Amino acid sequence: MLENSFDHPPVLTAQNLRRSFGTTIALNGVNLHIYLGESLAIMGPSGSGKSTLLHALAGIELPDSGSIRLNLPGQTSLELLELRDKARTKLRREAFGFVFQSGLLIPELTAEENVAMALMINGVSRVAAIEQARQALVALGLAGMEQRRIGQLSGGQVQRVAIARAQVTGAMVVFADEPTGALDSSTGTEVLDVLLGCTVGQGKSLVMVTHDAAVAARCDRVVKLQDGNLISDSRAANNMDGGVR
């Protein structure tokens, strides 16, 4: 995490988030600040509200009530709950990046085409998008793999393609849902190294859901949910010298 992260306003501020599915409470008045240049792990048992919180922060699924404010450097502060669907979709394309457990890549496309798609959706020409995608893949150790389809790649390579896709647009906040969950421990460590390097290593923010305490310990902060309640928010074990934030 950048040393001066907490000297600036949070890039994302969630206040009193509430979300229910029938009689099940997924979020029960959650408050959370996320700063630029930090990595945040969200933990908790199944059904605790982890994915619901991640999706709410990313504007994928709106809470029933509350506030989520995005404050990117040099841009006007935005309230996600006040944006229309089209505006939130645009925001997810440009300001946010996403890495999921299974990658969620398009198997019919090559690695470079999957990455380039994120740019082409934003209006970048195919030629320019492919070139940027190739550079991103090479930077992540996938030189020579650009023309391979997803089924021709290993699990770790697939996740590297997903990370390239998440950051090629210059997204300042990357959301990851169990990005190492389907990988063996060695490959998972390698993928996590890449993910942290591409996000907090470049002054961006990483918000990650994980069940793995070892993965969470690599992050700057760990928040824990239980029954929709945020029950703790602290520095990760390997960063405890800085105290609780």
Q: Amino acid identity, residue 158? A: V
Distance CA 30, CA 44 (A): 14
**pLDDT in 10s for each residue of the chain, 245 residues:** 444 455 578 999 999 999 999 999 999 999 999 999 999 999 999 999 999 999 999 999 999 999 999 999 888 899 999 999 999 999 998 899 999 877 679 999 999 999 999 999 999 999 999 999 999 999 999 999 999 999 999 999 999 999 999 999 999 999 999 998 888 999 999 999 999 999 999 999 999 999 999 999 999 999 999 999 999 998 755 554 443 33
Numbers of helices and strands, H then E, in the chain: 7, 10
The DSSP letter of residue 243 is: -
> Rounded to an integer, what is the distance from CA 140 to the centroid of its chain?
17
The DSSP letter of residue 147 is: T
Its CATH architecture, for the domain 7-237, is: 3-Layer(aba) Sandwich (3.40)
Domain boundaries, the chain: 7-237
